[in-house]
Amino acid sequence: MEYMALYRKYRPTRLSDLVGQEHVAKTLLNALSNQRVAHAYIFTGPRGTGKTSAALIMSRAVNCLTPTAEGEPCGQCSACQRILHGTSMDVMEIDAASNRGINEMRDLRDGVKYLPAQEKRKVYIIDEVHMLTTEAFNALLKTLEEPPEHVMFMLATTEPHKVPTTILSRCQRFDFHRIGQQQLFDHLQHLVQLEGRTADEAALRLIARRAEGGLRDAVSLLDQCLVASEGNLSQKTISGVLGIVDERFIMAMAEAIAAHDGLRIIKGVELLASEGRDMRLFLQQLLEFVREQLLLNMSGQKTMLNRQQALQILRDLVDGDQRLRFSLTPRLTLELALLQAAHLENAAM
Ligand SMILES: [Zn+2]
């Protein structure tokens, strides 16, 4: 059987299934059951809190042929099925982070004029909308100013302050919240049951804590741990799986290096040491991240590190990795390698 990530397998299919976003679900269901759906919505909030899931459910809810009395999509009708399987011609998902949307927005501006091909409404879902270029924003604004009856926009962003107010003012805004520890824990426990497995309470609490309010992160961590173990999921298994340093920490350290921020680097290494992490494993993860930044940059994508930064950091870290291999004082060697890569002489004093 094909392996399917837990997060996708148990993606919510009804608004009332959204974990920790009851305030959003309630208002949207109200609008749906009273036929007062707006033309444009913007969902804001931290990553992995259900914004895109909610947008997808909305795209089904407005097109469902037999919605429930509460306004939820039935999940069974032909429209629901098409949209669920991503085969509907009228539901468009645009990821503004990977392509900054100039062509897409132009297509969109031309496309909205036409009636939907299959469904009742054309739905445009634009993820990470704050990444659009000014030109793309202008094109989007034109359509938002006079949206045709048959079109609905669902925008999602982790950084609403980067979205022009002209856009924001034309959308109904919903703020998605970080999900509380207890709610995350309950949800994880539910998933473990659905998967026919068992887990120690402490183990699940650890995952809930590590996810910092993001459902997607929590479920992916659980997924990794379930795959990595057999039988009951214990706290020990989870610590082992979490031995790999969190990606956000890697990003933060790369950022500190690029910003010549010696203090943050020292604090970061201190944290690694206090958690008993393998210094070399960490450096290798960091190297991998910087290398990926370089590759993305060379393929013309927008990256956190520019090409020159990535090249220089990569060179210094490769040197550091060589020294770390034979070091008897790995913590100190790592610290020195990172500080060298940060070129503190370039820092503003
Ligand atoms: Zn339906």
Cα 169 to middle of ligand 1, angstroms: 31
Cα 63 to middle of ligand 1, angstroms: 7
328 or 238, which is more confident? 328
- What is the predicted pLDDT for the residue at 307? 92
**Is position 45 within any domain?**
yes
**Domain identity same for 136 and 217:** no
**Is position 15 within any domain?**
yes
**Domain identity same for 210 and 297:** no
Q: What residue type is 28 in one-letter code?
A: L
- The sheet carrying 151-157 orders its strands as 91-95, 122-127, 151-157, 40-44, 172-175
**Domain identity same for 223 and 166:** no
Cα 13 to middle of ligand 1, angstroms: 11
pLDDT > 80? residue 242:
no
Cα 158 to middle of ligand 1, angstroms: 29
**Is position 278 within any domain?**
yes
**Domain identity same for 194 and 169:** no
Cα 15 to middle of ligand 1, angstroms: 13
**Is position 1 within any domain?**
no
**Domain identity same for 235 and 330:** no
Cα 4 to middle of ligand 1, angstroms: 24
Neighbours of ion ligand 1 (CB under 5 A): 64, 73-74, 77, 80
Cα 170 to middle of ligand 1, angstroms: 28
- What is the predicted pLDDT for the residue at 268? 92
pTM metric for this prediction: 0.69
Cα 74 to middle of ligand 1, angstroms: 4
Domain boundary among 159, 175, 191: 175
Cα 266 to middle of ligand 1, angstroms: 55
Cα 90 to middle of ligand 1, angstroms: 15
Cα 29 to middle of ligand 1, angstroms: 15
**Domain identity same for 162 and 185:** no
Residue 14's pLDDT band (boundaries 50, 70, 90)?
very high
**Domain identity same for 19 and 157:** yes
The CB-based long-range contact list for 85-90 (8 Å cut-off, 24+ gap) reads 88/63, 88/118, 88/119, 89/116, 89/117, 89/118, 90/63, 90/116, 90/117, 90/118, 90/119, 90/121, 90/122, 90/123
**Domain identity same for 124 and 158:** yes
Cα 68 to middle of ligand 1, angstroms: 9
**Is position 271 within any domain?**
yes
Domain boundary among 241, 257, 277: 241
**Domain identity same for 190 and 294:** no
Cα 189 to middle of ligand 1, angstroms: 29
- What is the predicted pLDDT for the residue at 107? 79
- What is the predicted pLDDT for the residue at 230? 84
Interval 66-72 mean pLDDT: 96
Residue 292 maps to which CATH number? 1.20.272.10
CB atoms < 10 A from the CB of 232, how many? 12
- What is the predicted pLDDT for the residue at 248? 78
**Domain identity same for 101 and 10:** yes
Segment holding 135, helix H or strand E: helix 134-145
**Domain identity same for 111 and 257:** no
Domain containing 131: what range? 6-175
**Is position 208 within any domain?**
yes
Instruction: Share the mean pLDDT of the chain.
Output: 90
Task: State percent of the chain over pLDDT 90.
Answer: 64
The CB-based long-range contact list for 63-68 (8 Å cut-off, 24+ gap) reads 63/88, 63/90, 63/91, 63/119, 63/120, 63/121, 63/123, 67/32
**Is position 226 within any domain?**
yes
The domain total for the chain is 3
Residue 109's pLDDT band (boundaries 50, 70, 90)?
confident
**Domain identity same for 189 and 228:** yes
The CB-based long-range contact list for 267-270 (8 Å cut-off, 24+ gap) reads 268/338, 269/331, 269/334, 269/335, 269/338
Cα 32 to middle of ligand 1, angstroms: 13
Interval 216-223 mean pLDDT: 91
Cα 33 to middle of ligand 1, angstroms: 14
Residue 239's pLDDT band (boundaries 50, 70, 90)?
low
